[in-house]
Structure 1
Amino acid sequence: MENLLDNLKALLKKDERLVSEGELLRNKIIGLALKLDKDLIKLLLSDNKMKEVFFVDIDGTLIFDKDKFIKFVSNKQFLPDSYTAFKNKIGLVDEKGEFISEKKDVVLSWPYKDCVLEGGMTKEDQKRDEIFWNEILAPDEISRLLDPKVFTNAKRIDKDGEHKFDGFRTDEKGDIKDNLIIKGNNLLVLHSLKKRFAGKVKLIYIDPPYNPDNPRNTFTYNNSFKHSTWLTFMKNRLEVAKLLLKDDGVLQIAIDENEQARLGVLIDELFHGYEKHCITIVHNPRGVQGTNFSYTNEFVYFVFKKGLKVIHKIKRDTPLVEEFRDHGGESLRSDAKNCFYPVLVKDNKIVGFGEVPSDDFHPKGKNVKREDGTIEVWPIDVKGIERKWVFARQSIDEIKDKLFVKSKDNGEIDIFRIKDEKIPRTVWFGSRYDASTHGSKIVNKIIEGKTVSFPKSLYAVYDCIYSVVKTDKEAIILDFFAGSGTTAHAVMMLNNEDSGNRKFILVEQLDEHVEVATQRIKNEIEKFGKGDFVYLELLKWNEKFVDEIKRAETKEELKKLWEQMKEKAFLSYKVDVKTIDEHAKDFEDLSIEDQKRFLYECLDKNHLYVNYSEIDDEEYGVSEEDKKLNRGFYGKYHG
């Protein structure tokens, strides 16, 4: 066994892809094996012993036994660095010698498909590979993670500042009619929201992590399944988000080229019986230089049930003015008789519309003056040919406010219309979508020293929202990757334009993002002189220790934290406190990053936050004020 291990290590080190700073990369090896990488297989075949152990001869053809190879590489005796050696000593491996946290029942395309990716965010500007700390949780490791959580630290914020929470505003049906900003893990918040908002959200707009191929990538985890973990992360959240949508609701997901194709496949799998449209938005006309191309665009998926007419016209940058009379190829009266009727004009203003006449009726000209001075303007051209208006008589109410009268020098009257809206096309471009001008510059002015990476153009988000909720002035709009609060800003802007009462729900976890979004919305409330929102947080339990672990700067701090965790935290069933304490010296010898990593793994992820079902448990010390808050939120919906 030892000779085989040593020989395999020596052989694998010949492949530069598998080595970093002189050490073999276990997960890179496993990843290439799963992909049946031809260079890895050639390397193994070059050694007779490896050929004998990891290949099966079937009628003269050698078949690579990747499962056997992966199991061998995953064995606790393979590459036992200080951290894995420590885990071996304290027993965090199963009876087969495999690490409990590493699941082997995977498939090539999507190994974590049936798991939950718990994604707790840390500071975005932290100089490390991950801005999420995560754990892939198999179904048998989840008991209470997704139960509704307790909310805390509620306050109402309006133009006059913060106020003590005074209860939720509800309508006659008991539905909450407040704008909400909720701080916490968005997966857990979504599962809490479904108790009150299932089937009530008109629009979900999200701008999730894009999973770029660079050192600051959100999803460069300690495994070789970068795309798979991202898909799992998205799948977990989209499954519950789907439950929140109304029957005529729309899901919009912003994304770039890194995951656009895979996201499309995921949508197809999760949203059977739905339409999926991919819109291109030119958000950076200057371009971001790639290896071969300069990228100027990103995408937004629009997803809604098939057969629905849910997308409205959006506003034009520059309105067009054109004749109301049809000049197209089929512009005769006979082409659409319901489009032939008089527009009634008096004192150079439109005062009404006549009815469609019978087929045998023919006006006595283009402009016919009635006894009361009203002029009937008919769609007749200069040659006297009866043509038609662009809109039918039964549809005129939709655009009548866009029509106006224009008199010619000869005294004749024509009808013109202002075209300030257009059917959304699949490519959106123009200065209004520039994410620098209408995104970064807006956000960077909010709080000095506080920034949010790559905020969306306010008008790109506005147009996405407008296209869905233009006529629904009571709509609920949800954004569970809230960032700098652009979605809320766009909702407020639309409400201010048409006196709407649309409500937003924002979910965000990063402290700096919450601070920027909250201040941004307060600024808009002050600007418009009206409006308010309710701020809430999830009540932390094990998550408090996560925060402390992140903030720790010395091993001594982590040592004290471990003592506190033993007393107050919910530890994983895999943890044997006695055995860990017996190997305290080994723990001290780990790097501070590995110590943090280990303490994270010791925490039971089912107890990150306090569950609503345990709100009366004295151990959690939930205040009477918070109990009232939560009973107001969940009410009869809890169950």
Structure 2
Amino acid sequence: MYPYNTENDGFKYNDTFTHSSWLLFIKNRLEVVKDLLKEDGLVFIQCDDNEQAYLKVLADEVFGRENYLNQVSVKMKQTSGASGGGEDKRLKKNIEYILIYTKNMNSENGFKKFNDFYDEVELFEYLETMKQLKKSWKYTRILKSVGTKEHIKTLTDGSGEPIEVYTHKGVVLEPIKKVMEEENLTEAECYLKYFDKIMRDTNAQSSIRTRVMEGVTGDHELLSIEYVPRSGKNKNKVTTVYYKGAKCDQIAWLSDIAVKRGKYIFKLEKAGTFWDGFPLNNLTKEGGVLFPNGKKPELLLQRIIEIATDEGDLVLDFFSGSGTTAAVAHKLGRKWIAIEQMDYIDEITKTRLKRVINGEDGGISKLVNWNGGGSFVYFELKRYNQAYQDGILAATSKGELDSIYNEMAQNAFLKFWFDKKDFEREESFRALSLDDRKVLLLQVLDENQLYLNHADMLDSKFKVTQEEIALTDKFYGAPNV
């Protein structure tokens, strides 16, 4: 997530760059991102349409076009009612964009695929659409009972691991319509009552099914197998699969493609590149901290983190803002690093993350059963030009400013165009008011050197203490000297 180069961005960075300086600002950071990414790592860059087209070209240059994966459109604002208003000649902007790149698509250890993720559609709305389109719906039978099972054979998979095969007697399999009539249930009531037992049979082509068909003789109403898959969503877990009839048709469960929540069932649809449904009302207060602009919904970050990472993976946010990425990563069992240079980090970002550790129940907390726990370590970079900036802003007299300037002229990092002789010969500077002098001195400071570079910490002129050096070495590793 990056500053968007608008006048409304909540990050409070210099967000009114010229077009070229904004691209340079982003380019420098994308190059660092690329260096830090693992071979199969992913970067998600969210922006609006002010710079989206140019950002895509820039990211292609940094990461390589072959490493571009997707551009996702995200609904981030509600549209106005019929009265309209807002943007006059232009359509209302309610979409933002996420560019997704990997580091090395063609590497042996490079990116393979996203984790599965789904949109949700209320089941009976979906069924109504199916009827209107005159398409058939296959999940129309209930396996009320699998009867009693009897072990009949042990087969092996391609790795030589066992596949235990069972036959079943006394199976009860009935159409949903028949069950509705017998039990006087509506269609919705029947689906809710028997959600975990509603099924269809499929002609699924798999090596395991082939082994069962070839290895089992005789006519069996229902077979089941127990084995441990070596890949897929049930990897390394004991898994049961059922096969029906002489053709060994594999049974597929409604519960594999849908979820039940209370009185509702939602069908899961593979998500594409348009994402919506995120809570946008009262978003500024999510996480228990007020952040008026630029805050992202926790549900959006949950989707990004879950499709791109596994538990224990490391998530890095270069512009952490109110700390949404770190908060969600923490709740999802990921390690994380959050970077922020604005002064609201103490009141907002750190406060929010402390609330997460203490078990705050907002955002995605209830969805993932978050009850608190964990910890984080907070470091502040050694200030350099930032110290001069703070001194200028706090000065109460021209004499104080003169003292700060004299030290700046000797030790600070100043803008490349600054000429000390010309500046000191400029009589108009002496005539400026205190506030106008502050503005001019702030303009002289190089804002890219607000903090001391790691490589400069051993230079005595920067007055880094031995304690600070020891802590830095422990965090980064000792520099090569």
Q: Percent identity?
A: 29
Equivalent pair of 1:313/1:422 in contact (CA under 8 Å) = no
Structure 1 residue matching 2:330: 3-state secondary structure: helix
CA distance in 2, matches of 1:592, 1:451: 32
CA distance in 2, matches of 1:281, 1:509: 26
Letter paired with 1:235: K
Shift of the alpha carbon at 1:596? 3.5
Equivalent pair of 2:455/2:479 in contact (CA under 8 Å) = no
Equivalent pair of 1:403/1:417 in contact (CA under 8 Å) = no
CA distance in 1, matches of 2:389, 2:148: 71
CA RMSD of aligned residues (A): 4.6
CA distance in 2, matches of 1:414, 1:434: 33
Shift of the alpha carbon at 1:356? 11
Pairing 1:436–2:281 present:
yes
Shift of the alpha carbon at 1:417? 2.5
Equivalent pair of 2:147/2:172 in contact (CA under 8 Å) = no
1:605 to 1:442, Cα distance in 2 relative to 1, 3 A: closer
Shift of the alpha carbon at 1:516? 0.9
Query: Residue in 2 aligned with 1:416?
Result: 254
CA distance in 2, matches of 1:376, 1:243: 59
1:230 to 1:591, Cα distance in 2 relative to 1, 3 A: farther
What does the per-residue CA deviation read over 1:282-314, in whole Å, with 9 as the maximum and x for residues that have no partner?
Answer: 122235832232222211111124464331222
1:352 to 1:457, Cα distance in 2 relative to 1, 3 A: farther
Shift of the alpha carbon at 1:609? 3.0
Structure 2 residue matching 1:477: 3-state secondary structure: strand
Pairing 1:468–2:265 present:
no
1:460 to 1:608, Cα distance in 2 relative to 1, 3 A: closer
CA distance in 1, matches of 2:205, 2:411: 70
CA distance in 1, matches of 2:14, 2:453: 28
Shift of the alpha carbon at 1:518? 0.8
Query: Residue in 2 aligned with 1:312?
Result: 115
Query: Residue in 2 aligned with 1:247?
Result: 39
Structure 2 residue matching 1:247: 3-state secondary structure: coil
Partner residue of 2:323 out of 477, 485, 494: 485
Structure 2 residue matching 1:484: 3-state secondary structure: coil
Matched residue count: 373
1:592 to 1:310, Cα distance in 2 relative to 1, 3 A: farther
Query: Residue in 2 aligned with 1:388?
Result: 202
Specify which structure has the bigger relative contact order, considering alpha-carbon pairs within 8 angstroms and separated by 6 or more residues. Answer: 1
What does the per-residue CA deviation read over 1:26-84, in whole Å, with 9 as the maximum and x for residues that have no partner?
Answer: xxxxxxxxxxxxxxxxxxxxxxxxxxxxxxxxxxxxxxxxxxxxxxxxxxxxxxxxxxx
CA distance in 1, matches of 2:5, 2:339: 20
Structure 2 residue matching 1:240: 3-state secondary structure: helix
CA distance in 1, matches of 2:8, 2:476: 42
Query: Residue in 2 aligned with 1:290?
Result: 87
Query: Residue in 2 aligned with 1:270?
Result: 62
Tell me the TM-score normalised to structure 1 length. 0.50
Tell me the TM-score normalised to structure 2 length. 0.64
Letter paired with 1:466: E
Structure 1 residue matching 2:113: 3-state secondary structure: coil
Equivalent pair of 2:146/2:172 in contact (CA under 8 Å) = no
Equivalent pair of 1:248/1:310 in contact (CA under 8 Å) = no
Q: Describe how 1:67-466 pairs up with structure 2 within 5 A.
A: 207-212=1-6, 218-221=14-17, 226-272=18-64, 273-287=66-80, 289-291=86-88, 292-304=90-102, 305-306=104-105, 308-317=111-120, 346=146, 369-370=168-169, 388=202, 392=206, 394=208, 397=229, 398=232, 415-419=253-257, 420=259, 422-430=269-277, 433-437=278-282, 439-443=283-287, 445-446=288-289, 451-466=291-306
1:453 to 1:346, Cα distance in 2 relative to 1, 3 A: same
Structure 2 residue matching 1:532: 3-state secondary structure: coil
CA distance in 1, matches of 2:240, 2:167: 19
Partner residue of 2:378 out of 535, 555, 566: 535
Pairing 1:526–2:358 present:
yes
Q: Which runs of 5+ in 1 are unaligned?
A: 1-206, 333-342, 358-366, 406-412, 496-501
Shift of the alpha carbon at 1:537? 1.2
Equivalent pair of 2:392/2:401 in contact (CA under 8 Å) = yes
CA distance in 2, matches of 1:608, 1:302: 30
Query: Residue in 2 aligned with 1:141?
Result: none
1:356 to 1:270, Cα distance in 2 relative to 1, 3 A: same
Structure 1 residue matching 2:339: 3-state secondary structure: strand
Equivalent pair of 2:152/2:167 in contact (CA under 8 Å) = no
Letter paired with 2:373: K
1:512 to 1:389, Cα distance in 2 relative to 1, 3 A: farther
